[in-house]
Structure 1
Amino acid sequence: MSSKRERANERRRYEKWQQRRQAAAEARRRRQRVIAGSVVAALVLVIGVVAAVALTDQSDASAAPSPSTTSSTAPSLVPDASLAEGRTWTGTIHLAQGDIGIELDGAAAPQAVANFVTLAGQGFFDSTACHRLTTSGISVLQCGDPEGTGQGGPGYSWGPIENAPTDDVYKAGTIAMARVGNDGSSMGSQFFLVYEDSQIPSDSAGGYTVFGRITSGLDVLTAIADAGTIEGTETPVSDVIIEGVETQ
């Protein structure tokens, strides 16, 4: 008889323990819901403030005479072509993998050279990634995007195309401007370095602005290409970072 009472008492104690545990768990869940609600409310408030600021910034920008820039070090207007001075410029693109010597033709492509020299002098290219490497069809390494996505630029665009090859052949060592689709006025800061002779057919806008050539370090560029890309992408297998660009 006593054994039955003990078992009954033990069962009641266990049931009470279960009830207390369930009550504690429910209390925790209520606290978590309250905290989550507070966090959401705070986020909504912050988002509202940010949206208000963004709208204010956009309103101010719409009144400005020139577009805003992606980088604080970039010029707010397209650099004047006269800055190229109609002369030959020399310089170096310092990559993490090694230096590439360059020569820029300010007479043949004054707008492109003025743009490149100005951005380089402002440090626009510093610490940016060369985001695209093509190893089939054409052989180029594309750089100059501050976002590293292929979508970034200096906050302005320019055209028309200058000094495009008449035979659509871009020889190894060519430095040319990238652009969007068949829009000849969509050039910004992105450029490409050709590591093997490549034929790029012209579209309705024409070819691509050739504004310089590689004078040394083509082997550095070739080594980057030989390393290849991440499977299924045009992203170099190793990060290709521009540490700085010098021109003179």
Structure 2
Amino acid sequence: MTKAQERARARRRYEKREAARIAKEAQRKRDRVVVAVVVCVLVLVAGFVVLARQLSGSSNEASTPSGSATSTTVAGCQAPPSPLGTNAELSLPSKKTAEGKTFVATLTTNCGDIQLTLDGSKAPQAVASFNQLAEKDYWRDSPCHRLTTSGYYILQCGDPTGTGQGTPGYGFGVENAPKDGKYPRGTVAMARTSDVKKGNGGQFFLVYKDTELPGGYTIFGTVTKGMDIVDKIAAAGVSGGGTDGTPAAPISILRVSVTEKKG
């Protein structure tokens, strides 16, 4: 064998070894990519499993109202549902639908029924709004988000978000506000912002002890049945202590029905 042949043979052996090395290195790279993809898939699957468990648990477990530190379900109350929230963008109804009329409203809550008598003669706009929101099921599964226990004594409800910031998409002015600022036990009045012309919306409060409030708030009804429920919630106090905040004993409006009182 000539030297030229030997050199050619050696080159072929080198090229064969080099090709094998390159192929082996390429296989290693492919293996590393496959492992990385598998790890990513496993991480994503684990994340979806955890999320699914959290979502399924949230629909079955009692929820604590927004902003509360502690909560205690009192005797006679069921665990409250989770707030549904709202994207309501409704229009203000005509007050003529309530003028000169009296209505009976039933707040069905997780603690029992609270019955209200609504006075469309003295506060027609507030009553017309209340009736519309009840008809639209606006308050379904909405927590009463605020309780005060010193200075003034109210249980505030009517915000489907449970934050105190929810509105039905419209506002209206104050009606039938007492000149002396006195709100007797059993009063049903509109909660509002500082805007006396358009500050009323969907939130209202129930007075469980004689109260004086400055500024003027629309009185549009009275509690005729179920004050014992409000008293029970008030007696449990504010979540986490204090005198103004989320009720320690959660209460939610499940639905509201309204009928006109004849005669």
Match of 2:205 among 192, 195, 210: 192
2:233 paired with 1:220: no
Match of 1:139 among 140, 145, 153: 153
The alignment's C-alpha RMSD in Å is: 2.4
Match for residue 245 of structure 2?
234
Which one has the bigger helix percentage? Answer: 1
Distance verdict in 2 for CA 1:236–1:154, change over 3 Å: same
Match for residue 211 of structure 1?
220
2:98 paired with 1:89: no
Paired residues in the alignment total: 182
How far the C-alpha of 1:121 sits from its partner, in A, is 1.1
User: 2: CA distance between counterparts of 1:166 and 1:88?
Assistant: 23
User: 1: CA distance between counterparts of 2:89 and 2:119?
Assistant: 21
Letter in 2 for 1:189: G
SS at match of 2:96: helix
CA contact (8 A) 1:75 1:119 kept: no
Match for residue 174 of structure 1?
187
Identity of aligned residues (%): 46
Letter in 2 for 1:223: K
Unaligned runs of 5+ in 1: 1-26, 40-69
Alignment of 1:155-170 (within 5 A): 155-159=169-173, 161-170=174-183
User: 2: CA distance between counterparts of 1:209 and 1:139?
Assistant: 16
| TM-score of the aligned structures, taking structure 1 as reference length | 0.68
Match for residue 244 of structure 1?
255
User: 1: CA distance between counterparts of 2:178 and 2:223?
Assistant: 16
> Deviations for 1:143-196, whole angstroms, at most 9, x for unmatched residues?
11111101001011112x100011101010000001112543211100001000
Match for residue 7 of structure 2?
none
Task: Give 1 or 2 for the bigger CA radius of gyration.
Answer: 2
SS at match of 2:188: strand
User: 1: CA distance between counterparts of 2:140 and 2:222?
Assistant: 20
2:125 paired with 1:117: no
| TM-score of the aligned structures, taking structure 2 as reference length | 0.64
